[in-house]
Amino acid sequence: MSVIETVDLRKLYRRIEALKGVSLRVERGEIYGLLGQNGAGKSTLVKILLGIVWRTSGKATLLGQPVGNSSARQRVGYLPEDHQFPGYHSAESLLHFYGRLYGMSRQDRNRRIPEMLQLVGLTGRAKSKIRTYSKGMKQRLGLAQAMFHDPDLIILDEPTDGVDPVGRREIRTIMQQLKDQGKTIFLNSHLLGEVELVCDRVGILQRGEMIREGDIATLTRQKGLFVIGLADGEILPIEELQRLGFSVSRVGVHWEIGLHDGQTIDTVVDWLRAKGLRLRHLVEKRQTLEDLFVATVDAAEPGVDVPRRNREQHLLAGRQGR
């Protein structure tokens, strides 16, 4: 049983089609990242899963139960983007309130609250009113309330928004710990570097459609592109390699070798050894998630935002010229 499953999920806001038949599966113990530009439909998808927005058509289940069913949310923790906790609560009283809604006993609440607040570093402000918290503190509290009732699935929408770099690292560590405990995490984030660091799989939404999905290692791998480096003072005979059919270009102190159909890197390595050159560096080239995201989005919707980008480039060029 998948933790999250959607099949041909659609959402229509009057004339605007926010989701156009999205199908995805998130399995137990995964950290799944959902990427997309603003307005791509990420929040709509999450809100449908949590019963905050009603789906127009399609099927969606959460922990095996149809979404919209309040009991399905019993084992789900959620941190929304731009959340507003009631300012009249303190961190402690808020967790008590939410704990009661989840049916936690007083004993459990009294045990979990100090644990959670310590985990997110809010112990010292446990009794202060939330209205006195900074944005980062509210975000930490949001994370605490999402984990508080020990849910099986945690949905986090921009969890590091407003958090300083040290706090971000702590949050990443917490997510990793949760994964180690067998929890499933569904992550919405614009910080692609972070997503790349913690997620097992990602999906890219573009204008309501899932245009790419897979595990990060596979998605970011650039098939047939290797970077090699030789011992100090040795130069790669580029032209000879090109004559053998490889595409070669210099990148700093290294060389980038492109393989074509039927070619393998082993041929290059053997050739270098035969030439008496000493290989010191060999890696299969990967792209960053950000590169992948931009390339995927541009490929799916060529020309999107181009006028704006051009304008920005002109402005930048103008400033540099001055």
Partner 1 sequence: MKFLAILYDSFREAVDGWVIYVTLGASTLFIVLIACIGYEPVSAEKAFESITRRFQIVYANRNRSTMQRQFLFGLHFQAAEVKALTAAKRPQEADYQVRLVIEERDRNGPFLPFGPMPVQPQRAQEDESKDKKSVLRDVVSFWASSGERDDTGLKPDEVDERLTLDFVRDLFEFHGNVKVTKVERLASNHDRHEFLVTTQGEKGVRGWLHEPTFLFGALTVPIELSLGMLVYIIQDRIINGVGAWVALLVGVLLTASFIPNMMRKGAIDLIIAKPIRRVSLLVYKYVGGLTFVFINTAYAVTGVWLVTGLRSGVWSNGFLLTIFAITFYFAILYAVSLLLGVLSRNTIVAIMGTIAFWFALWLAGSIYEAVDVFRREPSTRDRIPSWVYRAVDTVNTVLPRTKDLDKLTSKLVVQDTLGEGDKRQLKLDTLTWPSWSEVLSVSGIYICVMLGLAAWRFSTRDY
3-state secondary structure of 304: coil
The only residue of 33, 36, 41, 80 in contact with partner 1, by rule CB under 8 A: 80
Indicate whether 125 belongs to the interface with partner 1 (CB under 8 A). Answer: no
# binding residues, partner 1 (CB under 8 A): 31
DSSP 230-289: ESTT----HHHHHHTT-EEEEETTEEEEE--TT--HHHHHHHHHHTTPPEEEEEEEE--H
- Strand, helix or coil at 300? helix
Alpha-carbon gap, residue 274 to 306, rounded angstroms: 49
Phi, psi of 7 (to 5 degrees): -130, 115
Per rule CB under 8 A, is residue 13 in the interface with partner 1?
A: yes
The residue written with tokens 């010191």 in the block is 280
CA distance 142 to 118: 14
47 near partner 1, judged by CB under 8 A: yes
84 scored as a contact of partner 1 (CB under 8 A):
yes
Residue 60 beta carbon to partner 1: minimum distance, rounded to whole angstroms:
14
Region near partner 1 per CB under 8 A, out of 52-60, 171-179, 213-221, 282-290: 52-60
* Least distance from partner 1 to the Cβ atom of residue 223, Å: 41
What CA–CA distance (Å, rounded) separates 81 from 79?
Answer: 7
Residue 128, token pair as written in the block: 């202060």
201 interacts with partner 1 by CB under 8 A:
no
Shortest separation between residue 55's beta carbon and partner 1, angstroms: 10
Cβ closest to partner 1, residue 96 vs residue 286: 96
Site mask for partner 1 (CB under 8 A), range 134-153, x = bound: -----------x--------
Binding site for partner 1 (CB under 8 A): 13, 47, 50-54, 70-74, 76, 78, 80, 82-89, 93, 97-98, 100-103, 145
